């Protein structure tokens, strides 16, 4: 069993954005800590409180002062921590995506799996399995909490809460399989590798189509085991397909 995680396409702009966000978050946390120390650990606040019976204006100033002492450091700390969480999320998005448990369980000792392959033309394949049966393209479904389907259309909710149209998981996976088939045919026109499309999900909204199967995560291994070995997929041809997958995974872009 071999697993390939495609190299992410990380640009200098993305790296600078993450670094800039990290610096801003660190400065906010440092400012919160400094103000908290200034207000609590030093006599600074005490020097601003007048002695004796304060006037009405001094009372107002004291209220504003203590409000600032309590709110400003806490607000800066909250904003800084929020920015740090965003930095971690952005950094995680730049790392290769791990193989899903369902696909890992479906791998035989001689199989090869890859994640986040970017085919020529820029189309990204979620997960792919290569075995004696050919290739299985595994599709993904948006989380139910941020997606909906209206008839044959699918929509996902963006960060602003707006519903945006997206390609349906069944259509996308079927097209991914077609792209993989065409990509491999361009390398060896005398032999066509069988390519299967399957969406792995527990989402009841997703129904199989003639070009794409639907299985539960716990059933993927059994489904893959039913695929017949492809005649003509010799060891030499399979090694060539493995080489192509490794090349495109290593580059992260089209060849």
pLDDT digits (tens, 9 = 90+) for 156-178: 888 778 888 888 899 999 999 99
Pairing type for strands 112-118 and 124-131 reads: antiparallel
Q: Is the pTM of this model over 0.75?
A: no
Q: Domains of the chain: which residue ranges?
A: 12-93, 97-251
Residues 6+ apart with CB under 8 A from 38: 44
d(CA 141, CA 173): 10
* pLDDT tens, residue by residue, 106-159: 888 888 888 888 888 878 888 999 999 999 999 988 888 888 887 778 888 887
Between vectors from CA 246 to CA 241 and to CA 250, what angle results, nearest 5°?
Answer: 150
Give the neighbor-by-neighbor strand order of the sheet with 153-157: 147-150, 153-157, 163-166
């Amino acid at each position: 069993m071999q697993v390939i995680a495609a190299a992410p396409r990380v640009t200098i702009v993305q790296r600078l954005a993450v670094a800039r966000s990290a610096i801003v978050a660190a400065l906010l946390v440092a400012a919160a800590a400094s103000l908290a120390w200034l207000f609590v650990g030093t006599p600074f606040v005490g020097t601003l409180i007048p002695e004796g019976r304060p006037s009405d204006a001094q009372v107002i100033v004291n209220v504003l002062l203590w409000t600032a002492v309590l709110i400003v450091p806490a607000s800066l700390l909250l904003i800084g921590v929020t920015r740090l969480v965003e930095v971690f999320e952005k950094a995680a998005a730049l790392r290769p995506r791990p193989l899903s448990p369902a696909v890992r369980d479906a791998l035989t000792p001689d199989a090869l799996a890859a994640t986040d392959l970017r085919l020529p033309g820029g189309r990204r394949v979620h997960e792919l399995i290569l075995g004696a049966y050919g290739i299985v393209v595994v599709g993904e479904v948006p989380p139910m909490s941020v997606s909906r389907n209206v008839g044959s259309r699918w929509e996902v909710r963006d960060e602003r809460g707006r519903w945006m149209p997206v390609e349906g998981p069944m259509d996308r996976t079927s097209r991914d399989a077609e792209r993989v088939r065409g990509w491999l045919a361009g390398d060896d026109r005398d032999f066509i590798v069988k390519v299967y499309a399957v969406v792995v999900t527990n989402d009841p909204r997703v129904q199989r189509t003639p070009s794409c199967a639907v299985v539960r995560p716990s059933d993927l291994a059994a489904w893959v085991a039913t695929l017949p070995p492809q005649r003509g997929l010799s060891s030499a041809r399979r090694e060539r397909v493995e080489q192509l997958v490794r090349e495109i995974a290593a580059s992260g872009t089209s060849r």
